[in-house]
Amino acid sequence: MTPQGNFMILAPIVSSREAELRGLLDSMNEAPGSVNPNNPLVPFAQFDTLHFARFVILDDKTVGDLRIYGLPVRTHPLYLAFLGDIDGEQEAFLNELVRRASDGLRAIFSCCHGFASNTDLMAWMKLLRSPASAVYVNTRGRTVRRIREEAALEDAIESHLASQASSFEGLPAREIHAQLKRFVEAEKSAGRLTLSDEGATPPGWLLRKMLHLICMPLLVLLASPLLILIAPFCLFQLRRLEKTDPEPYIVVDDGHFETLAEAEDHDVTNPYSALGSLKPGLLRLLTLRGVLLVIDYATRHIIKPGRLGRVRTIHFAHWVLIGGTERLGFFSNYDGGNESYMDDFINKLGFGLNVFTSNGIGYPRTDWLLRGGSADERRFKEFQRRHTVLTQVWYKAYPGLTAVDLDRNTRIRRGLESSSISEQEACEWLALL
Amino acid sequence: MAGTAMTYSMVDYADVQGLVRFGYGRMTSASYALVRVKNVAAAKAWLRAAPVTNAVEKSPPPTTALQIAFTAPGLTNLGLPKSVMEGFSREFRTGMSKKFRARLLGDVGRNARKHWDWSGPGSEAHLLVMFFAEHEHFDSFVQSTKGNTWSDAFEEVIWLDTSDLDGDEPFGFADGISQPQIDWEQQLERPHTQLEYTNIAALGEFLLGYRNEYGKFTDRPLLDPDPANAELLPAVDAPAKKDLGRNGTYLVMRQLKQDVREFWKFLYEQADGNLAEANQLGAKMVGRTRAGDPLVPIQAESIPGTEPRTVKQNQFTYEADPAGARCPFGAHIRRANPRNSDFPERRIGALRKLIIILGFGPKGFYDDLTSSVRFHRILRRGREYGSELSPEQALQPPPAEELPRGLHFICLNANISRQFEFLQNAWIASTKFAGLTGESDPVLGNRKPIPGCPVTGNFKMPNDGTLPRRVSGLPQFVIVKGGAYFFLPSLRALRYFAGA
C-alpha cells in the first residue's frame, strides 16, 4: 500500500510584491475557481502522485477579534500557503516539484521574504515547511493512479452496459457478474484497461505508524498521574471559560461572501481554507493541542476508510498551526456546496468540529466542548464564512469525482477481483452499477 | 438546545398573510402581478388601502384573497433604510440572479437569466401582488382591488395568469400531495437528535420570529422602537426590539416552463410506443403514479403530521426500500423529500448511537448519504399555467401556435439558503445525490455537463437481484423562465412599509 503524504509551505509575503503575487496566482486560473491544470507556472497535471494542491494567501480579516478580549491586536505577516496531498513521501514530491516547476515556483516565491535569485529552491521550501498537526485522509492507500484506473473501469462497464443491457436480461446476478468479469479481463488483455496491484507498503512508514500506535497511549499512561491531578482543575476552568467567553455575532460582509461564492462550485468538490485566532490563555492552547493529538491519533489509527464520523464527503483535511501557536488553519477538500458541507458539520459532525473550533475567538458557545457550538446554526455559518479565506489556486486530480464516487469505483473493482461471490453479494455488487 | 427554557408566543393569525396557512384551493382562479413602483406615495397609499387577506380561519370561507410580497429592490424603493434592509437574509437582499447563485440553482444554459421572460437584467420586479378568487368573482375582484390608483402607483412588469388543472401539474401527475404540517401551537419539543421521520415542522421554519428546527431564531430585522414602528410586535428573543420579520416569511418564485410534448414523446419512445409502459416509466421518474400514489407501500405505523385525508398517499417512508428498487433514489419526490430522520437507524440505544456518530455504523454503499430532511422542508404554494394536454394529445403533432404551459413555482421558507437553495442545489440539481452519478432530477434537471462528467442525463432504476434499468439521454423537460426572492411580510410589517 502506498500511504498518502502531504506538504505545506508557509512563506511570508513581501508587502510591496503582494499585488504581483496575486497576479501570478490568478494567471494560473482560467477563471476564478477554475485552475488551468497545465498552467506554465506549476503544471499540476504533470504530477501523477498529486491529489489536491492549493495556493492560498492567508489574508485573515479576523485578527482584530482579539480586541473582544481587550487585548492588543497582533500583527502577523501575510503568508502564502502552498499545500497539497500526495502519494508517497514528501521528499520525493518536493524533488519532482523542483524538477518540473522550478521557474514557476521561483517566480511565485520571489514575492516572499528571504527568497533571492540564487536561493536553493529545495532547501528554501524545506526550511519553510509548516507540518500539519493532524491530517485526515479519506482512504489510505488509494493513489491517484488507482483512482484513475478505477474510474476508467467504471466508465468502461457503464458504456458496455449502456450498449449491451438487453443481453443481460433475465440472467441471475452471479452470471451477470461473471460475464462482466470476463468483459473486464478482455479489456485488460487488450490493453484498454489497467488495474495495477497495490504497491508494497514502505517499511519505514509502517514502523513509524506502529511506534505511534503504541507510544502515544504509553505516553498518556506515563503522564496519567499528572493528568488526573490537573484534569479537574482544567475542566472546571474550561467550563467557566465556556460560560463566560464573549460570543459576538458578526455577520460576514456581502463582498467577502460573494468573492468566496464566485470561486466555488465549479467542480463537484470545493476547497475550504479557514483560519482564526485562538482564545487567549494557556488553557485554550493546551486544550487545542490535546484535541489535535487525539484527532491525529484517531485519523491515523482508528477511523474507518471513507468516513470521518458519519461524513463521507471529505477527501483530505489538514489542521495546521499558522506561524506559531496563536492561530489555527483548517484546510479541506469536500464534495457539494458550502451549505451542505455546513449541514454535515452541524448535523453529523458537530462534536468533532466544536471540540477544536470552540478554542477560537467568537465561536458559538459550546457545552462541555462537544455540544452546542455549531448547533447555533446561523451564528456558526456566519462564523465559518467570516474565517474562510479565498483559495486563489486550487487543483484536483480527478474533476467530477466525489469521494463517494471513488468509494463506488473501489467497490466495483473489489467485486470483480474477489475469487468467489455469493448470489447476495453479486446482487449488492450489481446495485453499484 | 431546543426543549429547554422555551419561550412560546401564540401566533396572531390576523397578522399573518393567509398563504402561509392556506393554499386557497377553492379559489380556482389566480393571477400574479409583478410590478415596479412608479410613484412611491401612490404605491404606499394603494398598499395602505389594499385588502390583504390574513390567516384567520373564517366561516364561511372567503371567496377572494389578496397577498403581497416584496423584493429587496422593492423595499428599498419604498424607502426602507439601508440599516433595516441589512437585517434581512443575504439571499433575499442580494437576489436570485447573482452569478454564483445561478450556478448553484442550475440557472445556466437554457435556464440562464438572459433568456428569462421577467426579472431579467433591468426588469426586476418590486412587488408581487397575488390575486385569488372563486372563478365567478375573479375579474370583479381584480378590478376593485386595483382601484383607480393602481396605474399611478405601479408599472406592470408582467401579469402571470394561472390555470386550474384540477390538482395535476402539466405533465399530468397529481401535485401538491405532500406538505409539511406547521407546528402552529409550538407544542413540539425538538429532541437534539430526531430518530423518526416526522411531517411536523417547527413554526420557525416557515415564519420568522419563532423557533426553528434548531430551536433558534432565524435572523431578521430587529428595530429600535420609534413612533413609526410602534405597531410592530416585539421580538420574542429580544423583547426590547421591534421584530419586522415576525409573522412574515420569504417567498421564492420560479416560473418553470414545462415541455409536455417532449416529456411524453421521450417516455413513449423509451417504452417502444406502449403508453402503459410510458406511464410506468413516468411514475418511476416522478416517484408517484399519475394519480399520486407512491411507489412504496403505505405503512401501518402513522407518521406524525400526516393529515388523515392524505394518509393513503403520504403515510410512507423509504425505510422499506433501502435499495430504491421500488422508488428509485433519483425519483423526483425522493430527491425533494427523502423522508429520513437525523439518523440512519431508529429505535437505537445510546451505545449504538455513539457507534454510528463515530463512523462505525452501517457500511453499505448507499447508507446514510442524505442529510436530514427536517432542516430542508419548504411549503409549496405554486399554481400551474397553460392549458391541459393529455399524454395522448401530447403525442400528436402540435398546432402551429402553441401557448406555453408550466408551473409558477412558489414556496415559503424562513431561511432561503438552508431550505429552498439547499434543496434545489444539493438534492434536485445535484448529479451526485445519494450516491448517484451522471443524473440530476429526471423531471427538473437541466442536463448541463459538469467538469469531468459530460453526461448528466441518465436515470437509473435499481432492480432487486439484477442490473438497474438505465435510461439515458433525458432531454431538458423544464426550463426556468423567471424567478425572484420575495419577503412576504406580516400585516403589521406591511402597514409599516406603507407608512407615510
The verdict on B133 and B75 lying in the same domain is yes
The verdict on B123 and B217 lying in the same domain is yes
B425 and A168 within 8 Å at the Cβ level: the answer is no
Look at residue A123 and tell me whether its pLDDT is greater than 50.
Answer: yes
Residues A138-175 have pLDDT tens digits of 999 999 999 999 999 999 999 999 888 888 988 999 99
CA angle B487, B491, B495 (to 5 degrees): 95
What distance in Å separates the CA atoms of residue A242 and residue A250, rounded to the nearest whole number?
19
B302 at A interface, C-beta within 8 A: no
pLDDT lower than 70: segments of chain B: 1-8, 500
B-chain residues near A352 (CB < 8 A): none
What are the extents of the domains in chain A? Answer: 4-141+201-396, 144-197+402-430
Interface test with A, best of B205, B355, B433, B437 (most A CBs within 10 A): B437
All cell numbers assigned to A371: 455540544
Residues A24-34 have pLDDT tens digits of 999 999 999 99
B479 in helix, strand or coil? strand
Mean pLDDT computed over A192-221: 95
B466 and A173 within 8 Å at the Cβ level: the answer is yes
For residue B478, tell me if it sits in a domain. yes
For residue B335, tell me if it sits in a domain. yes
Mean pLDDT computed over A342-351: 93
The verdict on B280 and B153 lying in the same domain is no
The verdict on B225 and B333 lying in the same domain is no
B422 and A310 within 8 Å at the Cβ level: the answer is no
Look at residue A116 and tell me whether its pLDDT is greater than 60.
Answer: yes
The verdict on B193 and B304 lying in the same domain is no
3-class SS string, chain A: CCCEEEEEEEEEECHHHHHHHHHHHHCCEEECCEECCCCCCCCHHHCCCEEEEEEEECCCCCHHHHHHHCCCCCCCCCEEEEEEEEECCHHHHHHHHHHHHHHHHHHHHCCECCCCCCCCHHHHHHHCECCCCEEEECCCCCCHHHHHHHHHHHHHHHHHHHHHHHHHCCCCHHHHHHHHHHHHHHHHHCCCCCCCCCCCCCHHHHHHHHHHHHHHHHHHHHHHHHHHHHHHHHHHHHHHHHHHCCCCCCCCCHHHHHHHHHCCCCCCEEEEEEEEEECCCHHHHHHHHHHHHHHHHHHHHHCCCCCECCECCEEEEEEEECCCCCEEEEEEEEECCHHHHHHHHHHCCHHHHHHHHCCECCCCCEECCCEEHHHCHHHHHHHHHHHECCEEEEEECCCCCCHHHHHHHHHHHHHHHCCCCCHHHHHHHHCCC
A432 at B interface, C-beta within 8 A: yes
The verdict on B211 and B263 lying in the same domain is no
Q: Collect all residues with Cβ–Cβ distance below 8 Å to A418 and sequence separation of at least 6.
A: A425
Residues B44-80 have pLDDT tens digits of 999 999 999 999 999 999 999 999 999 999 999 999 9
Q: Which among A309, A404, A433 has CB closest to B468? A: A433
Q: Which among B357, B418, B468 has CB closest to A310? A: B357
According to DSSP, the β-strands at A366-367 and A29-31 are unpaired
A431 at B interface, C-beta within 8 A: yes
All cell numbers assigned to A214: 503504541
The verdict on B131 and B273 lying in the same domain is no
Q: Give the model's pLDDT for residue B8.
A: 61
Main-chain dihedrals φ then ψ at residue B250, nearest 5 degrees: -100, 145
The verdict on B143 and B244 lying in the same domain is yes
- State the smallest CA–CA distance between residue A136 and chain B in angstroms: 14
A261 and B361 within 8 Å at the Cβ level: the answer is no
A375 and B214 within 8 Å at the Cβ level: the answer is yes
Mean pLDDT computed over A398-405: 98
Q: Which among B101, B426, B467 has CB closest to A176? A: B467
Q: Collect all residues with Cβ–Cβ distance below 8 Å to B247 and sequence separation of at least 6.
A: B11, B12, B15, B16, B207, B208, B209, B233, B490, B491, B492, B493
For residue B154, tell me if it sits in a domain. yes
B431 at A interface, C-beta within 8 A: yes
Q: Which among A168, A266, A335 has CB closest to B451? A: A266
A400 and B104 within 8 Å at the Cβ level: the answer is no
For residue B358, tell me if it sits in a domain. yes
B-chain residues near A311 (CB < 8 A): 359
Q: Give the model's pLDDT for residue B3.
A: 39
Look at residue A390 and tell me whether its pLDDT is greater than 80.
Answer: yes
A431 and B366 within 8 Å at the Cβ level: the answer is yes
ipTM of the complex: 0.96
Interface test with B, best of A29, A161, A378, A425 (most B CBs within 10 A): A378
- State the smallest CA–CA distance between residue B209 and chain A in angstroms: 14
Q: Which residue of B has its CA nearest to A422?
A: B465
B95 at A interface, C-beta within 8 A: no
Residues A287-323 have pLDDT tens digits of 999 999 999 999 999 999 999 999 999 999 999 999 8
Q: Which residue of A has its CA nearest to B460?
A: A433
All cell numbers assigned to B366: 448507499
Give the count of beta carbons closer than 10 Å to the beta carbon of residue B17.
28
Q: Give the distance, in angstroms, between the CA of residue A139 and the centroid of all CA atoms in the same chain.
A: 12
B426 and A404 within 8 Å at the Cβ level: the answer is no
The verdict on B57 and B99 lying in the same domain is yes
For residue B363, tell me if it sits in a domain. yes
Q: Which residue of A has its CA nearest to B368?
A: A310
Can you give the residue range of the structural domain that contains B98? 13-253+487-498
A267 and B450 within 8 Å at the Cβ level: the answer is yes
Touching A: B residues 364-423, CB under 8 Å: 364-366, 368-369, 371-372, 375, 417-418, 421-422
The verdict on B102 and B191 lying in the same domain is yes
B-chain residues near A404 (CB < 8 A): 369, 432, 435
A258 and B94 within 8 Å at the Cβ level: the answer is yes
A405 at B interface, C-beta within 8 A: yes
Residues A355-379 have pLDDT tens digits of 999 999 999 999 999 999 999 999 9
- State the smallest CA–CA distance between residue B368 and chain A in angstroms: 8
Query: For chain B, how many structural domains are there in total?
Result: 2
Touching B: A residues 305-364, CB under 8 Å: 307-312, 335-337, 339-340, 343-344, 346-348, 351
Whole-structure pTM value: 0.97
The verdict on B191 and B282 lying in the same domain is no
Q: Give the model's pLDDT for residue B2.
A: 40
- State the smallest CA–CA distance between residue A200 and chain B in angstroms: 27
B451 at A interface, C-beta within 8 A: yes
B-chain residues near A399 (CB < 8 A): 451-452
Q: Give the model's pLDDT for residue B4.
A: 39
